[in-house]
Amino acid sequence: MAESDVRAEEEDDETVSILPGEGRATRPVPRGGSACTPARVACGCFALAAAVAAALAAATLLARLEPRRRPSAGSARNSTFDHGCGQRGRVGECPGYAECLREISGFDEIEYLASLRAARAGPPPLHPGRRWCTKSSCIDRATCAQPFRLFQYAHADVAHLPLGEHCLAESNLTDARARGLLTRDPARACAFWFELKRNCAHLHQLRELPHWRGNGLNHVFVQHDWRGIDAQTRERHFGRAMVAQGASLEDRFVPGLDIALGLHPKLLPSGERGAQLAALEPWRRRYLLTFKGTESHVSRIRASLHHDETRGVVLAYFPSGVHCAASTSLARPYAHDGRVALPLLHADCCARMLKLFRAYDYVQLMNSTFALVMRGDQPASFRLAEVLAHGCVPVFYGFDETVLPWAELIDWPALSLSVPFDVDFERALYPLLEALLRDRPRLLRMQREVRRAFAHFETLDARAGDLATVEVVRRRFSYVQ
């Protein structure tokens, strides 16, 4: 997914027609999203976390449900809201905006908050976490010679298996610090590094790897693709191996064993202006809090209702996959190149939402003290690294099920905020941010940590943080905490 896809799309999709058949055939935007941290890791208080985990899990379960995406034809209304209204106050209060959002995305904030409350009141989930393997049962230090050495699978090691040809990616552990840890002698190696291509159809052959030892002990599988490895696949094929991936949701993440990766940013500060912006102190920035993106996770939809330029808050959202062209049939939206067109009346609302969305430039919005980071349809977020790169303080919203990258190396609680799904934006979140804005020493400390965190995202060639991942593995075998 990507905000950068949004940008690309904006550049070549300037005309939006609400007339039948005139909308430009837009390629479907790839789905994607965010990588991050559970509240428990974020606050570091595990006991408290256990107590609230059940409630959270129930709530997040609900939040995962897709909002009703398609408006029903019968409820069609003539939504007219003034797209400039968010410059004069909270956009959710602009006449017609909430109705329009409901028509386009099926989202109703009051219903949503009520469902969160109901979920909290319900019984806790039956399986709060998977614990089939722990740090001590899945990492065997006895068989590895110290100091720590890493064996990297090469094509020659797996030439006899289709797995080698189709699934082993050329891994570029070229950084001198990583290279110094490599060995070609499996008897000396603590860990076995295998970088997986995406869409590998031969995972059942992992057990035939030459050093598999029956259960993948001490193996590290690195998957950089944001689509990731799901819970079922992880359990079925990876045995006791560590899985390092960007799509690290709690349902597939084995604490103490797996490693959440950050995704490499698609947008980096460019030129002198970019460098200036990255270094700009938090209180000298144009906006208080910003976001711009597509993808229809419920957190993004809700946040958009709280866009309010009078407070320096710009939260721009437009649902991906929605085509603003109108259908010739008022009764039934028609499919168009994988997108669904809207009945005529919705098309009016759609065009206004798009106009609001396009009023803001993604890069300009990086000139913000805080930046909202939310997941998309996928948990991994390119945006996280982008906001760190620009020196914004991340505010995680709707990230409760996602594990933040390299939590062993990055002190997330020191540099970010996490807010719950039902946060009151106007009465709780904005006052909190405004108070922080006055605490300059604290903000400077946060921004310094932001810079250090970002360094992990850019190490080693184009591969986000392979060096950080190697360091996490090394610590596990070297008894360093």
Ligand X SMILES: *[C@@H]1O[C@H](CO)[C@@H](O)[C@H](O)[C@H]1NC(C)=O
| Residue 463 binds to ligand X (criterion: CB under 6 A) | yes
Q: Which is nearer to ligand X, 463 or 476 (CB)?
A: 463
Q: Which is nearer to ligand X, 361 or 424 (CB)?
A: 361
Among 72, 75, 78, 232, binds ligand X (CB under 6 A): 78
Q: How far is the CB of 456 from ligand X (least distance, A)?
A: 16
- Name residues contacting ligand X, limited to 311-330 (CB under 6 A): none
| Residue 273 binds to ligand X (criterion: CB under 6 A) | yes
| Residue 142 binds to ligand X (criterion: CB under 6 A) | no
Q: Which is nearer to ligand X, 235 or 461 (CB)?
A: 461
Q: Which is nearer to ligand X, 17 or 215 (CB)?
A: 17
Q: How far is the CB of 79 from ligand X (least distance, A)?
A: 9
Q: How far is the CB of 277 from ligand X (least distance, A)?
A: 4
As a whole number of angstroms, the distance between CA 109 and CA 102 comes to 9
Q: How far is the CB of 400 from ligand X (least distance, A)?
A: 31
As a whole number of angstroms, the distance between CA 394 and CA 424 comes to 18
Among 7, 69, 286, 452, binds ligand X (CB under 6 A): 286
Among 149, 240, 264, 285, binds ligand X (CB under 6 A): 285
Among 299, 367, 378, 418, binds ligand X (CB under 6 A): 367
Q: Which is nearer to ligand X, 18 or 63 (CB)?
A: 18
| Residue 276 binds to ligand X (criterion: CB under 6 A) | yes
Q: Which is nearer to ligand X, 133 or 247 (CB)?
A: 247
Residue that is written with structure tokens 């939504």 in the block: 79
Query: Which among 245-253, 272-280, 322-330, 375-383 is the span making contact with ligand X, rule CB under 6 A?
Result: 272-280
Q: How far is the CB of 463 from ligand X (least distance, A)?
A: 5
Among 244, 277, 325, 468, binds ligand X (CB under 6 A): 277
Query: Which among 11-19, 229-237, 279-287, 396-404 is the span making contact with ligand X, rule CB under 6 A?
Result: 279-287
Return the number of other C-beta atoms located less than 10 Å from residue 382's C-beta: 26
| Residue 183 binds to ligand X (criterion: CB under 6 A) | no
Helix H, strand E, coil C: the string for the chain is CCHHHHHHHHHHCCCCCCCCCCCCCCCCCCCCECCCCCHHHHHCCHHHHHHHHHHHHHHHHHHHCCCCCCCCHHHCCCCCCCCCHHHCCCHHHCCCHHHHHHHHHCCCHHHHHHHHHHHHHCCCCCCCCCCCCCHHHHCCCCCCCCCCCEEECCHHHHCCCHHHHHHECCCCCCCHHHHCCECCCCCCCCEEEEEECCCCCCHHHHHHCCCCCCCCCCEEEEECCCCCCCHHHHHHHCCCCEEEECCCEHHHCCCCCCEECCCCCCCCCCHHHHHHHHHCCHHHCCEEEEEEECCCCHHHHHHHCCCEHHHCEEEEECCCCEEEEECCCCCCCCEECCEEEECHHHHHHHHHHHHHHHCCCCCHHHCEEEEEECCCCECCCHHHHHHHHCCCEEEEECCCCECCCCCCCCCHHHHCEEECCCCCHHHHHHHHHHHHHHCHHHHHHHHHHHHHHHHHHHCCCCCCCHHHHHHHHHHHHCCCC
Closest to 159 (Cα-Cα) out of 209, 223, 215, 212: 209
Q: How far is the CB of 367 from ligand X (least distance, A)?
A: 4
What number of chain residues touch ligand X (CB under 6 A)? 14
Q: How far is the CB of 7 from ligand X (least distance, A)?
A: 17
| Residue 80 binds to ligand X (criterion: CB under 6 A) | yes
Q: Which is nearer to ligand X, 240 or 285 (CB)?
A: 285
- Name residues contacting ligand X, limited to 159-178 (CB under 6 A): 170, 172
Q: How far is the CB of 351 from ligand X (least distance, A)?
A: 11
- Name residues contacting ligand X, limited to 395-434 (CB under 6 A): none
| Residue 10 binds to ligand X (criterion: CB under 6 A) | no
**Site residues, ligand X (CB under 6 A):** 78, 80, 170, 172, 273, 276-277, 284-286, 367, 461-463
